[in-house]
Amino acid sequence: MTQLLKNSRVLVTGGAGFIGSNLVESLLLADNSVVCLDNFSTGKKKNIESFLNDSRFELIEGDIRNYDDCCKAAGGIDYVFHQAALGSVPRSIKDPVTSTDVNIGGFVKMLFASKEAGVRRFIYAASSSTYGDHPGLPKVEDKIGKPLSPYGITKYVDELFAYNFAVTYNIDVIGLRYFNVFGRRQDPDGAYAAVIPKFLKMLKAHEAPVINGDGTFSRDFTYIDNVMQANHLAALVSDEQALNQVYNVAHGERTTLTGLFNHIKELALNYDQGIKAIEPVYGPERTGDIPHSLASIEKAKQLLGYSPTHNIKQGLKEAVDWYWKNL
């Protein structure tokens, strides 16, 4: 990554989570002072343990639903990277109240606290779930449908609030619509575990992973290093035309779930030949899932200078190596 935000004071909300902890690490490596705000509802302390003795790192154990915590975290900050949210479509269907409280209520509190503190720029994690039932492929930022889950609704509402704050309060905002991010530190456990680490954990245990549906559903799987690049570029961009926008953050290629399993298995065979006979089990489709997802990344390329470094196979190679050593 050639362009990095440096020598700034930044806040990463949800900094103990999968994406957040990777962002904290990349910002510290670029000589920034980093404040992490997390309530550890889904984030894990082990993700940030290696940063705790770094004098440039500060942990605030707090909740974005508490406005005082937001104000405390935003004080003296140049850039906010807002990653805190309750993810997962199935979780939001099971409990829409908490997902809405965190993802919208907490978002607005953090955004307003940032405005009040004079933060230079607010960069936030948006989601490809915003595209909902729009059938077009690839997904283009200004063409969306109706979200298919409470989670998708919350992420779309966040975009509306961000734009409103930009117009009303003159705070710079940039939203990054993540597409199926994967990589080191992604949680393989629990009911809402992401598919790639879950597949890997089951293969390592010589168990057959379950694929929801017939395996033909496809996603634009996006390696974590591409996401780090997009966040740094969003902080650095100075062109007025690039501000107060949302951008797809993906690689721009589509992989079916069966194809994903085959890629992972092929790489995992380098570590354990005992998994050779394992095949996936196909189960029912999940409520709220869209069949296919593929991003156009032309807008991010043109306005942010985004140029993803890892395609699905390159990202999986690094991810499988990390998980085989750390699971």
Condensed to tens digits (0 to 9), the pLDDT of residues 60-96 reads 999 999 999 999 999 999 999 999 999 888 899 999 9
Cβ neighbours for 68, distance < 8 A, ≥ 6 positions apart = none
Residue 289 lies in a domain: no
For residue 131, what pLDDT band results from cuts at 50, 70 and 90? Answer: very high
For residue 323, what pLDDT band results from cuts at 50, 70 and 90? Answer: very high
Residue with tokens 């089990």: 281
Residue 21 lies in a domain: yes
Residue 300 lies in a domain: yes
Residue 314 lies in a domain: no
Residue 189 lies in a domain: no
Q: What is the pLDDT of residue 1?
A: 56
Average pLDDT score over residue span 39-51: 96
Which residue range is the domain that position 145 belongs to?
A: 9-181+222-252+296-309
Asked if 98 and 74 touch (Cβ cutoff 8 Å), the reply is no
**pTM > 0.85:** yes
Does the active-site annotation cover 151? yes
Q: Which of 124, 151, 178, 223 is catalytic?
A: 151
Residue 212 lies in a domain: no
| Single-letter code of the amino acid located at 262 | N
CA 163 distance to own-chain centroid: 20
Condensed to tens digits (0 to 9), the pLDDT of residues 204-263 reads 999 999 998 999 999 999 999 999 999 999 999 999 999 999 999 999 999 999 999 999
Task: Report how far residue 295's alpha carbon sits from residue 129's, in angstroms, rounded to the nearest whole number.
Answer: 12
Task: Report how far residue 42's alpha carbon sits from residue 52's, in angstroms, rounded to the nearest whole number.
Answer: 19
Residue 282 reports pLDDT greater than 90: yes
Condensed to tens digits (0 to 9), the pLDDT of residues 140-193 reads 999 999 999 999 999 999 999 999 999 999 999 999 999 999 999 998 887 777
CATH assignment at residue 177: 3.40.50.720
Residue 25 lies in a domain: yes
Q: What is the pLDDT of residue 65?
A: 98
> Total structural domains in the chain?
1
Q: What is the pLDDT of residue 285?
A: 87
Residue 142 lies in a domain: yes
